[in-house]
């Protein structure tokens, strides 16, 4: 890895700031001061910035319990980005793996590991997602069978993949789907003549939302949770 990239990966410095630190003679290894950003850092190098040993950060994997009013974007737009809720370095480097609408709450996965994010979000992976849903009207008697067959959405050529609907009460259900069409859950219930009043994601793949996390809180995933997508 190039020295300037190594510095960026192990500090909060931008590429231009890293190059400036090199030019100023602030970067060294066990042999002395390093003055070229193109220097190739190898496994035996001990890189220091003003005497402090630098270590490359590993990939970060985070779960967030998203509240309403935040958007699944890396930047603020009409509403604030949900990344405002987490305290990590270099937020610009992370991906939101599996977006939620502004009015939807629950599990969001955040990472700077692009390959891992792809495992979560790629339609080909058919990663299952479970939602807890409150409905405006009582759920119909034939809804479970209709969802299992595959709901036909308005303006879509093909029906949705079969989904698992578990009825908890007249107005509350759990829905597990393996797709991520635009506003899919809300459109599925609209297609059977109902209306979603609250939508909360509880699980993505093998990762279930930590019930100890209040809305707006986050934590790093465990190794077992991370490996479930690899």
Report the interhelical angle of 15-23 vs 3-10 (nearest 10°): 120
CB 133, CB 175: distance < 8 Å: yes
Q: Cα–Cα distance between 151 and 188 in angstroms, integer?
A: 6
Catalytic site includes residue 103: no
HSE-up of residue 188 (Cα within 13 Å, Cβ side): 31
Residue-wise DSSP of 124-174: GG---EEEEEEESSPPPTTHHHHHHH-PPPTT-SSPPPP-EEEEEETTEEE
How far apart are the C-alpha atoms of 11 and 88, rounded to whole Å? 12
Q: Which residue has the tokens 């500090």?
A: 11
Q: Which of the following is catalytic: 4, 42, 87, 101?
A: 101
Are 147 and 188 in contact, with CB atoms under 8 Å apart?
A: yes
Would you state the structure tokens that stand for residue 48, as one six-digit string?
Answer: 């220091």
Q: Which residues are known catalytic residues? A: 101
């Amino acid at each position: 890895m190039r020295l300037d990239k190594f510095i960026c990966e192990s500090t909060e410095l931008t590429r231009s700031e890293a190059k400036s630190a090199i030019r100023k003679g602030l970067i060294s290894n066990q042999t002395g001061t390093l003055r070229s950003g193109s220097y190739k850092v190898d496994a035996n190098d001990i890189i220091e910035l003003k005497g402090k040993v630098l270590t490359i950060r590993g990939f970060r994997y985070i779960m967030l319990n998203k509240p309403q009013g935040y958007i699944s974007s890396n930047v603020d737009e009409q509403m604030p980005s949900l990344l405002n809720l987490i305290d990590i370095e270099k937020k610009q480097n992370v991906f939101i793996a599996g977006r939620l609408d502004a009015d939807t709450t629950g599990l969001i996965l955040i990472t700077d590991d692009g390959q891992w994010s792809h495992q979560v979000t790629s339609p080909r992976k058919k990663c299952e997602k479970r939602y807890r849903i409150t409905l405006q009207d009582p759920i119909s008697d034939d809804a479970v069978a209709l969802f299992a067959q595959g709901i036909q959405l308005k303006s879509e050529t093909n029906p949705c993949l079969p989904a698992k609907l578990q009825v908890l009460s007249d107005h509350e259900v759990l829905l597990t789907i393996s797709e991520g069409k635009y506003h899919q859950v809300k459109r599925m219930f609209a297609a059977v003549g109902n209306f979603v009043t609250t939508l909360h994601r509880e699980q993505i793949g093998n990762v279930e939302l930590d019930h100890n996390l209040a809305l707006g809180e986050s934590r790093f995933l465990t190794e077992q949770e991370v490996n479930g997508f690899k």
